[in-house]
Amino acid sequence: MGLTYQRVLLKLSGEALMGDLAYGIDSKVVQSIAQEISDIVAEGVEVAIVVGGGNIFRGISGAAAGMDRATADYIGMIATVMNAMTLQDALEQGGVQTRVLTAIEMQEVAEPYIRRRAIRHLEKGRVVIFGAGSGNPFFTTDTTAALRAAEINAEVVFKATKVDGVYDADPKLKPDARQYQSLTYSYVLNNDLRVMDTTAIALCKDNNIPIIVFNLSVAGNIRRAVMGESIGTIVGG
């Protein structure tokens, strides 16, 4: 079976790297994610990743504890760089070529984000990991994922989560909650469904980039998604 998507933007939350820990990074989990990514790179898929930082620091929590919000957000962005470098290490240990590109310059450890360079890396088969979010406080890495997807002409955003897709109620609280197979951007926005934040959904809508929400902890799901198998929930026009 052929590939449905040639260039994908994978959004990994910081929590995805945390596994069952309460904080930080579970290296076993990171290794298994890296393996899943390496499987699709081997198929010739161009993979760009935006990684969050919620397993380490969230700006909004810092602000709630009395910090200046913008300062807290910059700390959150720097936290995402730790995750990006961890993922890079795991991928490279598995023989995958990668580059970390950060929206806040830290040239000793990563390249600065330059759009055309990111595209060039992808064309050469390198996995590009975007660190430091969008570089702007008051944004999220979900919004960064939508922004970078549009910038690099990704065909789809993969939103990897801990649940199987988007439900009409919280499946952890209501066992009879029903999972949607597909949704329109407008429905998600109008009903305030928690797929990604509204800025991210609006950006994907404006640029016609579908979002596939699926469970990262089911082995093989990233591959199924690139092959166009119907998993999770797809959000589109």
Q: Which is nearer to ligand UDP, 176 or 192 (CB)?
A: 192
Do 47 and 37 touch, CB atoms closer than 8 A?
yes
CB of 14 to ligand UDP, least distance (A): 3
Q: What is the residue whose two structure tokens read 């995805």?
A: 16
- Determine the Cα angle at 122 with ends 196 and 30, to 5°: 55
Would you give the binding string for ligand UDP spanning residues 31-60, x where CB under 6 A is met?
Answer: ---------------------xxx---xxx
Pairing of strands 111-112, 7-12: unpaired
- What is the C-alpha separation between 4 and 224, in angstroms, rounded? 10
Q: Which residue in 140, 161, 221, 233 binds ligand UDP (CB under 6 A)?
A: 140
# binding residues, ligand UDP (CB under 6 A): 23
Cβ proximity of 154 and 9 under 8 Å = yes
Answer for which of 5, 41, 76, 223 binds ligand UDP (CB under 6 A) is 76
Give, as ranges, the residues between 141 and 170 that touch ligand UDP (CB under 6 A): 141-142, 144
In angstroms, give the least distance from the CB of 58 to ligand UDP.
Answer: 4
Q: Is 139 in the site for ligand UDP (CB under 6 A)?
A: yes
Residue burial 174-209, b: 16+ Cβ < 10 Å; e: rest: eeeeeebeebebeebeeeebebbeebbbbbbbeeeb
Smallest gap, in angstroms, from Cβ of residue 79 to ligand UDP?
6
In the complex, which residue's CB is closest to ligand UDP?
A: 52
3-state secondary structure of 5: coil
**Number of residues that this document lists for the chain:** 237
Residue 136 binding ligand UDP, by CB under 6 A: yes
Assess 131 for contact with ligand UDP (CB under 6 A): no
Q: How far apart are CA 101 and CA 77, in angstroms?
A: 13
Tell me if 133 contacts ligand UDP by CB under 6 A: yes
Nearer Cβ to ligand UDP, position 40 or 160?
A: 160
Binding site for ligand UDP (CB under 6 A): 13-15, 52-54, 58-60, 73, 76-77, 79-80, 133-134, 136-137, 139-142, 144
